[in-house]
Amino acid sequence: MTFDELLEYVAVHDVRLTGTGDALHYDAPAAAMGPQLVTALRSYKGELLRWLAAPADQREVTRAPLSAQQERVMEVAGRSTHPASWNVGLRLELVGALDVAALDAALDGLVARHHALRARLIRDGGTWTQRILAHRSVPLPVDELAALAPDAARRRAETLCREVVSPVFALADEAPVRFTLIRLSPDESWLVLVLHHVACDGRAVTVLLRELADGYRTARDAGAPDFGPPAAQCTDYARWQQGQWDEPTRRRRLAYWAEHLGDGPLALDLPFDRPVPQQPSGQAATCRFEIPGQVRLAVEVLARELGATVTAVAAAALALLLARLSGQPDVALSMPYANRSPRAYEDTVTVLATALPVRIRTAAAATFAHLVCQAADGLFAGIDNLLPTAWIYQQLPAPDKGAVPSGMTVSFAFQSTFDTRIELPELAVRVHEVPTGVGRAALLIVLMPGPDGIDGYLEYPVDRLDDDTVRRWMTRYVDLLASACAGPNRLLADL
Q: What is the pLDDT of residue 57?
A: 66
Question: Could you tell me if 305 and 312 are in contact, meaning their C-beta atoms sit under 8 angstroms apart?
Answer: no
Give span(s): CATH 3.30.559.30, the chain: 244-423+435-494
- H helix intervals, 242-309: 247-261, 293-306
Strands (E), 150-278: 177-185, 188-196
The phi, psi pair for 158, rounded to 5°, reads -60, -40
Is the pLDDT at 292 greater than 60? The verdict is: yes
Average pLDDT value for the chain: 91
Residue 280 in 3-state DSSP? coil
Helices and strands (DSSP H and E) totals, the chain = 15, 16
Model pTM score: 0.86
Q: What is the pLDDT of residue 189?
A: 97
pLDDT digits (tens, 9 = 90+) for 5-14: 888 788 777 7
Question: Could you tell me if 63 and 129 are in contact, meaning their C-beta atoms sit under 8 angstroms apart?
Answer: yes
Considering only 15-24, 262-271, 359-368, 404-413, which range has the smallest mean pLDDT?
404-413
Considering only 230-234, 374-378, 449-453, which range has the smallest mean pLDDT?
449-453
Is the pLDDT at 95 greater than 50? The verdict is: yes
Residues in contact with 342: Cβ distance below 8 Å, sequence separation at least 6, in sequence order:
none
Mean pLDDT calculated for residue range 435-456: 88
CA gap 39, 29 in Å, rounded: 17
Sort strands 16-20 and 23-27 into parallel, antiparallel or unpaired: antiparallel
Q: What is the pLDDT of residue 397?
A: 67
Give span(s): CATH 1.10.10, the chain: 3-53
Task: Output the CA angle 69-73-79, nearest 5 degrees.
Answer: 145
Give span(s): CATH 3.30.559.10, the chain: 61-237
Question: Could you tell me if 32 and 14 are in contact, meaning their C-beta atoms sit under 8 angstroms apart?
Answer: yes
Q: For 156-161, which contacts have Cβ atoms below 8 Å and span 24 or more sequence positions?
A: 157/182, 157/184, 157/190, 160/192, 161/89, 161/91, 161/190, 161/192, 161/434
Preceding peptide of 248 cis, ω within 30° = no
pLDDT digits (tens, 9 = 90+) for 453-473: 999 999 999 999 999 999 999
- Residue 374 burial class via C-beta count within 10 angstroms: exposed 0-12, middle 13-18, buried 19 and up: buried
The phi, psi pair for 28, rounded to 5°, reads -130, 145
The helix (H) or strand (E) run that includes residue 74 is helix 68-79
CATH of 244-423+435-494, one of 3.30.1490.20, 3.30.559.30, 3.30.70.2740, 2.102.10.10: 3.30.559.30
Residues in contact with 195: Cβ distance below 8 Å, sequence separation at least 6, in sequence order:
87, 88, 176, 177, 205, 208
Q: How confident is the model at residue 211 (pLDDT cuts 50, 70, 90)?
A: very high
Q: What is the pLDDT of residue 240?
A: 93
Q: What is the pLDDT of residue 405?
A: 35
Q: What is the pLDDT of residue 407?
A: 34
Q: How confident is the model at residue 408 (pLDDT cuts 50, 70, 90)?
A: very low
The helix (H) or strand (E) run that includes residue 17 is strand 16-20
Question: Could you tell me if 413 and 446 are in contact, meaning their C-beta atoms sit under 8 angstroms apart?
Answer: yes
Question: Could you tell me if 200 and 116 are in contact, meaning their C-beta atoms sit under 8 angstroms apart?
Answer: yes
The CATH number of 61-237 is 3.30.559.10
pLDDT digits (tens, 9 = 90+) for 138-184: 899 999 999 999 999 999 999 999 999 999 999 999 999 999 999 99
Q: Largest Cα–Cα distance in the chain?
A: 83
The CATH number of 3-53 is 1.10.10
